[in-house]
């Protein structure tokens, strides 16, 4: 397996892979020449032909960069990675490249798209749909029957109440409480959540 990325988020992904013990890390790749190793793994800065035959995980927290890199890579993404302490219902579906971190929970009838991140201690309740490249931060709670659009970032400790629809590329601030639908690209903070601006379409 190839791990793309060698920053703080990559450390958590590498630890997750090591904890599972069912797959080995063949390469860690990052374009930052100043990073030479991470958690005992050598960091490569260029792709080689041998790498194209291996599956991969994108260990980058930024949703737009993760989306762009997934579109550029030719090899197949890995199956979902679930930490041994996480609880994922057998009645839910996780797509390729998605990671579920330690102490997270995914309840029944949940559908999670490609390359999503369910970070440490997050909770995704029943009948939730997460589209591709969504990031649910540590300690965030997504209540039942919520839909979250592509590329949305839900901040640490945020709460989304049941039945709310969140648009694409939304940023939900840390600790926010979302009680009504949120349009695409909005940045929402506070309790109750309020829109303070709109995201651009650039990597940030």
Residues annotated as part of the active site:
126
**Does 190 appear as a known binding residue?**
no
Instruction: Decide the pairing of beta strands 81-82 and 99-100.
Output: parallel
How far is the CA of 195 from the CAs of 68, 99, 189, 201, in angstroms?
26, 29, 7, 17
Q: Alpha-carbon distance 107 to 76, whole Å?
A: 27
Look at residues 182, 110, 132 and name the one whose alpha carbon lies nearest to residue 123: 110
**Composition of the chain by helix, strand, coil, percent to 5:** 15, 30, 55
**Does 97 appear as a known binding residue?**
no
Tallying the residues shown for the chain, one arrives at: 204
**Does 153 appear as a known binding residue?**
no
**Does 61 appear as a known binding residue?**
yes
Half-sphere exposure of 93 (CA within 13 A, CB side): 10
Q: Alpha-carbon distance 151 to 201, whole Å?
A: 11
**Does 24 appear as a known binding residue?**
no
Q: Annotated binding site: which residue ranges?
A: 7-9, 61, 135
Q: Annotated binding site for substrate: which residue ranges?
A: 7-9, 61
């Amino acid at each position: 397996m190839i791990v793309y990325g060698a920053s703080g988020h990559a450390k958590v992904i590498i630890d997750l892979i090591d904890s599972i013990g069912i797959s080995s890390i063949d390469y860690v790749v990052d374009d930052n020449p100043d990073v030479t190793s991470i958690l005992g793994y050598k960091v490569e800065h260029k792709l080689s032909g041998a790498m194209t035959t291996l599956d991969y995980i994108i260990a980058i927290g930024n949703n737009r960069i993760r989306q762009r890199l997934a579109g550029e890579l030719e090899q197949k993404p890995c199956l979902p990675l679930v930490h041994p302490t996480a609880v994922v219902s057998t009645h839910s579906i996780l797509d390729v490249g998605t990671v579920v971190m330690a102490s997270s929970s995914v309840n029944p009838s949940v559908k999670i798209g490609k390359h999503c991140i369910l970070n440490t201690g997050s909770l995704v309740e029943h009948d939730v749909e997460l589209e591709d490249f969504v990031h649910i931060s540590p300690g965030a709670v997504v209540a039942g029957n919520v839909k979250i659009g592509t590329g949305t970032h839900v901040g640490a400790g945020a709460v989304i109440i049941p039945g709310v629809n969140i648009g694409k590329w939304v940023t939900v601030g840390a600790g926010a409480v979302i009680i009504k639908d949120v349009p695409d690209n909005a940045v929402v903070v506070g309790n109750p959540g309020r829109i303070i601006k709109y995201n651009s379409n650039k990597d940030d």
